[in-house]
Structure 1
Amino acid sequence: MSSLLDYFPTPFSSNALLLYGGLAVLLLVASHLVPWVADPFGYRKKHIPGPFLAQLSDVWLARVAAQGHRSEIIHGLHQKYGKVVRIAPNHISLSEPGALQIVYAHGNGALKSDFYEAFVSIRKNIFSTRDRAEHTRKRKIVSHIFSQKSVLEFEPYIRQALGKLVKQWDSLLSDDRKLASHRLRPNENGTAWFDCLNWYNYLAFDIIGDLAFGEPFGMINSGADSASVAIHGDDPTHLASGEKKLEIVRVPAVKILNDRGEYSASMGCLPIWIRPYAKKIPWYAKGNQAVKNLAGIAIAAVDKRLATPTDRVDLLARLQQGKDEQGNLMARSELTAEALAQLIAGSDTTSNSSCAITYWLAKYPDAQRKLQKELDEALGDDEDVPTYEQLKRLRYLDAVVNEGLRIHSTSSLGLPRIVPEGGLEVSGIHFPAGSVLSVPSYTIHRDTAIWGPDPDIYRPERWFEQDAEGIQATFNAFSFGPRACVGKNLASMELLLIVATIFHRYEFALLSQDQPLETREGFLRKPVSCYVGMKRRST
């Protein structure tokens, strides 16, 4: 008497493998086709265009992110399809400038998507937490640290780091052989040719190390990418509690940060259920190790700082003093996670933006000369690092920085938000609850209706010519709404001090005027390198 099992081959036969393999492929195809046919959010009925593979699977966007040019590719899709593009089964990219005020607005009820779960390290911090109440609690603790008044207390640390940098750059211009490895070619006619990106990385890491952990990482002095990291297993939260003696080694922090950004930006595009399996793929496994190492850097730095009490006024001191509405201080692991958030945000954005601004001013020497004329009038022959008070009202300097943040767009990709109950209407389209929407900064920073007919040209003058209200409503360097960057005041002061110090002292040129600024994007869009010629100015 036969049973149902008799109709199936044994599990280890070749026929069985073919059958089960075929079933697996069939299920995989069905899992993508069925939602597409069902169209639960009405995207097909609304005729929202986009690549067919993107409509079927999140893997399309994850692969684009892993390739390092997501913002440019999404921008190309908007140029091809229009203001509304489908970039994943449930993710719509909106390049309508007015969408910023809707998608990211205060009080609209939209939440961060599970994209942010890929950025959790140690524990959720102010950037990665998705819960509205928890984010409000964290923001109340952290936001006062970055008030304009508090930020001014950090200025001496920034100016001290800049003093070290110009000392090293002066050495590049001399015959000091200890920095010979940084030169692209021998000095000629008083000009040093070198990759300025490396030094901006050292500067940014040393500044944020000083502010967030009590002392710089020492990268400027050593001229090398190196930081201490706490070695841990799979439970960095345990080490962050301070309960275990740490093993400390030196690692390349900038490289780790880059690897982590690329990993998380791609991993965050995948469905959350598949991520544990994706981590076994070698490329993702390497990125996951970078996440652990980056956590280890924060753990080691916080552990060292807390072991030696100090009366310094810096970010970590402020975080230690921060209390929630119940008067509770942050636990050790939360303190470390928030310090890590400041390390990531404070190093990456500053270094990449400084490098990009240097590139664009070298490419457009007329803008460089206009800036230097303004700086000369304000600072005279004084070669000391200027103060923020001397710079904060310089209009062309401000335009130079903002134009760099616009055209380079360090934070370029559209940050995804989940539409709340009741839905949202954007660009004349109603998106139901559960839809995922984003507005790509890279694309809206190139909207000709706002920025004029030449948005791909670096031209600081546009900040005086275009409609001021339209520009401010579209400029998205620090995000918008309740999840906007809390460190905006600090970042703005840093960039003014860096750009003014460097361009008052030196002048820059490119190897050739058609030299591109090659970039690679993880979570942030970063220059790969930036070779420039630098020489001292005679003011």
Structure 2
Amino acid sequence: MYSIIVAASAAFFFVTYFILRPVFNYFRDVKGFRKYPAINPIAGITNLGFMWEARKGFRSKTLYEMHKMHPVIRIGPNSLSYGRPQAIKDIYGHGSPCTKDLFYSALAGSHFHLADVLDKPEHARKRKVLSSAYALKNLEGWEHKVSDKTARFITGCDKHCTTPLIKGAPGPDPKDLTFDYRAWTNFFTLDAIADIGLSERLGFLDQGSDLVRGEKMNGEIHTIDSYRRCLHATARAQSQIVWAYDWYTLNEKITRILPTSFKSLWKLNEGWNDIVWHRAMQRLRRYQAGEKLDDFFQALMEDKNGHPNNLEWGEIVAEVSIMMNAGSDTTAIAMNNVMYWLLKTPAALAKLRAEIDSVLDEDEVVAPYDKVRHLPYLRACLDESMRITPPTTFGLPRRTPPGGHTIEGTFVPGETSVSMSAYVAHRDPTIFPEPEKFIPERWLQPDSKDLQVYFIAFSAGARGCIGRNISYLEQTVLLSSVIHRYEFALPEQSWTPTWKESMNCAPDSMPLKVWRRERMTVEDEKVGL
């Protein structure tokens, strides 16, 4: 009898809390959100609706199709997505009272890092610590490391070269698709950020794989077979369950034990934690041994005058983690995507190649940054690729202040989650005509500077990406170098990658045929390693 009462009570609580209460709040509609169309039938009642969209794999694409008709879409009981240009300034712009949403605190570890800290004064403190390391004036210090990684990329690319594609052929022989550009650009960015940030050589470009060592907190060193799989699995798992903020921790524990795909994702997440811990501990040991290195870790430990910052070790590890994550993944995606769009648009590729050839010597292997940094069509190609396929597509959530805030001319009550997807913003036809077409020339018109206000590939406002200078440096040098030296071909001209959206929107592998350009005939070129 007692067990029946307990079971009935539990069932009553479950039905009341998870079904009746959300339905009651939906119809009560305290904030007046029921007037907005929802992304799916249950999204206005429960966050399970948006979690389902995340599970499907490309929620921003669904939002884009809906935003063609609706300026505001309800994506959760307390969450709104915006689709008109004014929302960018209202939500993300300098002076906006919106703060980072609880989304970030739900995902934070024991210590906040620069990307997830909510408190504005705390964010300002962190940004001040790191600003000297990320400053534009440090590009000269980073360039030799980027050039080194470019040379190693080219060595790997040379090894995968095949004979030139026969003119008029419908496409390459499948056996000649020897170079996975997606994987190699990721090897590049992982090697680069480890060197720039921690003065460490991971060696992924040399070995042609991302086999890496990890370290548990007890000091045990072990081998992890794929850095990328660990990194991407973590984002995939988190992006599917985080939207019910209050229940994230419980949902994580549940999905760790259920016999579903989540279980393997969380196992790989443990590998990611070990990768980060090992990198941080190795660099700490070098610092303690007295090495003074020009990298981000040094900036975390000391200010530019050599005075200790006295940060807690947990905060330093958190900053190392986000640097290794955001500092590599988005740039690798951007590198892959711009090559894809250029190969899909031969006229743009030819125009870019002519611009690059005009400033580089015929036998120049690694493009010097000073020669290519101001090439207008090169920058236009990079920006246009990040417009049409932004590496970070999902709407970075912000929270309205307690007193509410006006967005797109309409008052939004306080403590509401608001966002705008870059995928949506970059496809507004009033700002970007023919939004589904790759048109670099749109960035070279007399009024093209006006477009930058609506270009949010690096977010916007005070919380914009602090690493954009590094990203442009890496993208510019690598793309210039490989376009100058090689020809590439997609599996077929109609081929498209499969994009999967987690926090970022990542393409699957992109196998290419690669061969040396015929104009480059000097056989004894040496790549200075």
Question: Which residue does the alignment assign to 1:478?
Answer: 458
Report the Cα offset of residue 407 of structure 1: 0.9
Corresponding pairs, count: 503
Q: Where does structure 1 lack aligned partners over 5 or more consecutive residues?
A: 1-9, 176-182, 232-238
Residue 139 in structure 1 maps to residue 117 in structure 2 = no
2:18 corresponds, among 15, 24, 28, to 28
2:388 corresponds, among 378, 390, 407, to 407
Which AA in structure 1 matches 2:353? Answer: Q
Question: Which residue does the alignment assign to 1:279?
Answer: 253
Distance 1:278 1:31, change over 3 A: farther
Report the Cα offset of residue 420 of structure 1: 0.8
Which AA in structure 2 matches 1:256? Answer: C
1:329 corresponds, among 310, 323, 326, to 310
Report the Cα offset of residue 113 of structure 1: 1.3
Distance 2:339 2:390 in 1: 14
Question: Which residue does the alignment assign to 2:516?
Answer: 536
Indicate the SS of the match to 1:153: helix
Indicate the SS of the match to 1:258: helix
Which AA in structure 1 matches 2:514? Answer: M
Question: Which residue does the alignment assign to 2:140?
Answer: 152
Q: Deviations over 1:242-267 (max 9, x none)?
A: xx534333341101111111122223
Alignment of 1:421-440 (within 5 A): 421-440=402-421
Question: Which residue does the alignment assign to 1:104?
Answer: 92
Report the Cα offset of residue 388 of structure 1: 1.3
Distance 1:199 1:118, change over 3 A: farther
Which AA in structure 2 matches 1:471? Answer: L
Alignment of 1:63-82 (within 5 A): 63-79=52-68, 81-82=69-70
Distance 1:63 1:117, change over 3 A: farther
Residues 99 and 427 in structure 1, CA contact (< 8 A), matched pair in contact too: yes
Which AA in structure 2 matches 1:214? Answer: S
Residue 219 in structure 1 maps to residue 188 in structure 2 = no
Residue 209 in structure 1 maps to residue 209 in structure 2 = no
Distance 1:36 1:226, change over 3 A: same
Moved more, 463-472 or 82-91: 463-472
Report the Cα offset of residue 466 of structure 1: 7.5
Question: Which residue does the alignment assign to 2:3?
Answer: 12
Distance 1:50 1:196 in 2: 35
Q: % of aligned pairs identical?
A: 27
Distance 1:115 1:162 in 2: 36
Distance 1:481 1:474 in 2: 12
Residue 56 in structure 1 maps to residue 36 in structure 2 = no
Distance 1:102 1:419 in 2: 10
Distance 1:49 1:469 in 2: 35
Question: Which residue does the alignment assign to 2:469?
Answer: 489
Question: Which residue does the alignment assign to 1:267?
Answer: 241
Question: Which residue does the alignment assign to 1:294?
Answer: 272
Distance 1:259 1:70 in 2: 18
2:488 corresponds, among 498, 501, 508, to 508
Question: Which residue does the alignment assign to 1:391?
Answer: 372
TM-score by length of 2: 0.89
Distance 2:9 2:298 in 1: 63
Q: Deviations over 1:323-352 (max 9, x none)?
A: 89x973323222221111111011101111
Report the Cα offset of residue 72 of structure 1: 1.1
Indicate the SS of the match to 1:63: helix
Distance 1:458 1:49 in 2: 31
Question: Which residue does the alignment assign to 1:351?
Answer: 332
Q: Deviations over 1:81-108 (max 9, x none)?
A: 4111111111110011121111012233
Distance 1:327 1:393 in 2: 37
Which AA in structure 2 matches 1:247? Answer: I
Indicate the SS of the match to 1:430: strand
Indicate the SS of the match to 1:229: strand
Which AA in structure 2 matches 1:132? Answer: K
Distance 1:391 1:122 in 2: 42
Question: Which residue does the alignment assign to 2:526?
Answer: none
2:77 corresponds, among 81, 89, 95, to 89
Report the Cα offset of residue 311 of structure 1: 3.4
Question: Which residue does the alignment assign to 2:151?
Answer: 163
Residues 259 and 287 in structure 1, CA contact (< 8 A), matched pair in contact too: yes
Indicate the SS of the match to 1:307: helix
Which AA in structure 2 matches 1:355? Answer: N
Residues 208 and 347 in structure 1, CA contact (< 8 A), matched pair in contact too: yes
Distance 1:413 1:194 in 2: 29
Report the Cα offset of residue 126 of structure 1: 0.6
Report the Cα offset of residue 482 of structure 1: 1.2
Report the Cα offset of residue 121 of structure 1: 3.7
Alignment of 1:434-449 (within 5 A): 434-449=415-430
* RMSD value, Cα: 2.3
Residue 458 in structure 1 maps to residue 438 in structure 2 = yes
Residues 213 and 221 in structure 2, CA contact (< 8 A), matched pair in contact too: no
Distance 2:330 2:248 in 1: 30
Indicate the SS of the match to 1:12: helix
Distance 1:481 1:346 in 2: 19
Question: Which residue does the alignment assign to 1:179?
Answer: none
Alignment of 1:159-198 (within 5 A): 159-173=147-161, 185-187=174-176, 192-198=177-183
Distance 1:89 1:522, change over 3 A: same
Residues 49 and 84 in structure 1, CA contact (< 8 A), matched pair in contact too: no
Q: Deviations over 1:133-158 (max 9, x none)?
A: 21111111112211111232111111
Distance 1:184 1:253 in 2: 30
Question: Which residue does the alignment assign to 1:4?
Answer: none
Residues 65 and 262 in structure 1, CA contact (< 8 A), matched pair in contact too: no
TM-score by length of 1: 0.88
Q: Deviations over 1:469-527 (max 9, x none)?
A: 43111001100011111111111111111111111111222222211121111100010
Distance 1:490 1:249, change over 3 A: same
Residues 506 and 536 in structure 1, CA contact (< 8 A), matched pair in contact too: yes
Q: Deviations over 1:42-70 (max 9, x none)?
A: 112x5455433110111111121133212
Report the Cα offset of residue 442 of structure 1: 0.1
Q: Where does structure 2 lack aligned partners over 5 or more consecutive residues?
A: 164-171, 520-529
Residues 217 and 226 in structure 1, CA contact (< 8 A), matched pair in contact too: no
Distance 1:438 1:149 in 2: 33
Distance 2:316 2:52 in 1: 34
Residues 386 and 500 in structure 1, CA contact (< 8 A), matched pair in contact too: yes
Residues 124 and 337 in structure 1, CA contact (< 8 A), matched pair in contact too: yes
Moved more, 149-158 or 287-296: 287-296
Q: Deviations over 1:441-482 (max 9, x none)?
A: 001111110111x21111111112384243111001100011
Indicate the SS of the match to 2:500: strand
Alignment of 1:244-263 (within 5 A): 245-263=219-237
